[in-house]
Chain A
Amino acid sequence: MLVDFEVIKRAQAGDGTAFNDIVLAYRKRILGTITRLIARPEDVEDVAQEVFLRLYFSLNQLRTAEVFEPWLYRLTVNAAYDYLRKQRRRQEYRMSDLSEQQMMLADALAGGRAERDERDQKKVRESVDALLGAVSEADRILLMLKELEGLSLKELEKIYDITENALKVRLFRARQRVLKAFGAAAKGSKEPARAG
């Protein structure tokens, strides 16, 4: 916990200073999570502010301060999920773009970590974004939390409020779907080479 339970209780009682302390303590962590979840740096702050906005107006619904962190994660996941859904409506990713981006990614990564500059990192972000754009928002967020945020199964159980077995099944299926999209994209990028 980055803040005391007492601070959370004071914020629940309507203390603006206590709420400010919570935001200051958690904003960097939430910004990092959202950055990895949505992969669009320009919109990260907006989504993070939406998370804290929802926190402010729903803090009185929190039963105990002990479950604050999983609850904040759930708000973050929901805000990211809403953002991705809106974003998907605006821009549909095509698998043909993915294969092209994967080729660029392979080129970008070939140079090694030390030489990778911001342009290459952007390519990596775009490639993963395109790959995860081929699966549902729910799969994307679940995998991101597990693979990128490094959350444990126990933490994910609290966030999703499901049993460990159900969570494992969902994780397995989500990963299978991503692998399928990944395989399809890789196959797509190889086919023109064979033809030529």
Chain B
Amino acid sequence: MDLMRGSSDEQLDRLFRAYREACPTPEPSPNFMPELWHKIESRQTLGLSLRRFAGAFVTAAVAASLALGAYMAMPRTATPNPSYYSSYVEALAAANTIDTPDIVAPVRLDLGEN
């Protein structure tokens, strides 16, 4: 058989035919089935582990959300409500503790020196 004779189409067909003959169907090895089942079981185990991990993650996420929700719902006592002050001055002083300068003594103006 001369592969290089004829048109390109014919050559290609001959090459494919030769290839088909050169590729006999192999017999499966004795380990084919045990290896296949081993792979199936490995993947099933991996899937199960992933599912367990996903389940644990979801549970932890729900617990964290509930805890955060409860924390946010709790009333804040650290900052007093300004409406509880008896007077406007007290409320103003409480709101501006740092910015308000301390008045230690009355200001005196000496205008009669010169």
Interface residue ranges, A against B (CB under 8 Å): 20, 23-24, 27-29, 31-32, 35-36, 39, 41, 44-45, 48-49, 52-53, 56-57, 105-106, 109-110, 112-113, 116, 120-122, 124-125, 127-128, 131, 147-148, 175, 178-179, 182-183, 186
Q: Are B40 and A56 in contact (CB under 8 A)?
A: yes
Q: Are A20 and B33 in contact (CB under 8 A)?
A: yes
Q: Are A109 and B23 in contact (CB under 8 A)?
A: no
Q: Which of B4, B20, B33 contacts A23 (CB 8 A)?
A: B33
CB-defined contacts of B1 to chain A, threshold 8 Å: 109-110, 112-113
Q: Are A49 and B16 in contact (CB under 8 A)?
A: no
Interface of B, secondary structure class, is helix
A182 to nearest B CB, angstroms? 6
Q: Which of B4, B13, B15 contacts A131 (CB 8 A)?
A: B15
CB-defined contacts of A27 to chain B, threshold 8 Å: 28, 32
CB-defined contacts of B26 to chain A, threshold 8 Å: 31-32, 35, 41, 44-45
CB-defined contacts of A56 to chain B, threshold 8 Å: 40
B1 to nearest A CB, angstroms? 5
Q: Are A49 and B32 in contact (CB under 8 A)?
A: yes
Interface positions, chain B 31-67, Cβ under 8 Å from A, are 32-33, 35-36, 39-40, 43
CB-defined contacts of B28 to chain A, threshold 8 Å: 27-28, 31, 45, 48
| Known contacts A27-B28, A35-B26, A53-B40, then 13 further A-B pairs from the complex at CB < 8 Å, ordered by chain A residue | A35-B25, A41-B26, A53-B36, A57-B43, A105-B18, A110-B1, A113-B1, A120-B22, A121-B21, A124-B18, A125-B22, A128-B19, A147-B13
B15 to nearest A CB, angstroms? 6
Interface residue ranges, B against A (CB under 8 Å): 1-4, 8-9, 11-13, 15-16, 18-29, 32-33, 35-36, 39-40, 43
Q: Are B4 and A106 in contact (CB under 8 A)?
A: yes
Closest residue on chain A to residue B2 by CB atoms: A110
A61 to nearest B CB, angstroms? 16
Q: Are A49 and B19 in contact (CB under 8 A)?
A: no
Closest residue on chain B to residue A122 by CB atoms: B22
B103 to nearest A CB, angstroms? 81
Q: Are B32 and A147 in contact (CB under 8 A)?
A: no
